[in-house]
């Protein structure tokens, strides 16, 4: 489903992937019955159809990438080692969005804090420092995280 694009080593390293072109017949089977998280309910009838996670998770295919994250700086936001991020480069960066940024030669994922003309990269782990972006930094907001895929 994913084609490996690029790997970058950093404190919160990201491995980038591109969405793969899918045939219309591809996709996992989707059981449209509703899965109870409480008491089981009998499923008298259900509908079986195919579902494409690309169609569910990607709004703008030309601007979307996947990246696998490592590091602990965003565990408070639910982003953990080996989680797969869906990143959309067409979404404007705004305050409180989780962004993949290129900072001084390394990729990192952090929450954006924007106040006026000032920008901070805020980790979601108190053991990591907040990073204030200054004119001396080589800084690019590369894309906005829209979804995270986890293994359980």
**Catalytic residue IDs:** 73, 110
* CA–CA dist 57, 146 (Å, integer): 8
* CA–CA dist 113, 131 (Å, integer): 10
Helical segments of the chain, H only: 53-57
- CB 110, CB 71: distance < 8 Å: no
Helix (H, G, I), strand (E, B) or coil at 76: helix
Nearest to 68 by CA among 2, 142, 139, 141: 2
Nearest to 69 by CA among 4, 127, 138, 8: 8
CB atoms within 10 A of CB 26: 12
- CB 54, CB 1: distance < 8 Å: yes
């Amino acid at each position: 489903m994913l084609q490996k694009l690029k790997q970058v080593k950093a404190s919160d390293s990201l491995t980038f992937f591109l969405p793969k072109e899918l045939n219309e017949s591809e996709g996992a089977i989707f059981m449209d019955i509703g899965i109870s998280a409480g008491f089981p309910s009998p499923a008298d009838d259900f509908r079986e159809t195919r579902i494409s996670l690309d169609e569910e998770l990607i709004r703008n295919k030309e601007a979307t990438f996947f990246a696998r994250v490592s590091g602990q700086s965003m565990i408070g936001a639910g982003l953990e080692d080996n989680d797969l991020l869906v990143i959309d480069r067409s979404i404007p960066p705004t305050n409180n969005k989780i962004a993949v940024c290129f900072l001084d030669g390394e990729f990192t994922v952090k929450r954006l804090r924007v106040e006026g003309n000032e920008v901070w990269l805020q980790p979601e782990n108190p053991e990591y420092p907040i990073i204030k972006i200054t004119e001396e930094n080589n800084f690019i907001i590369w894309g906005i995280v829209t979804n995270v895929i986890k293994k359980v």
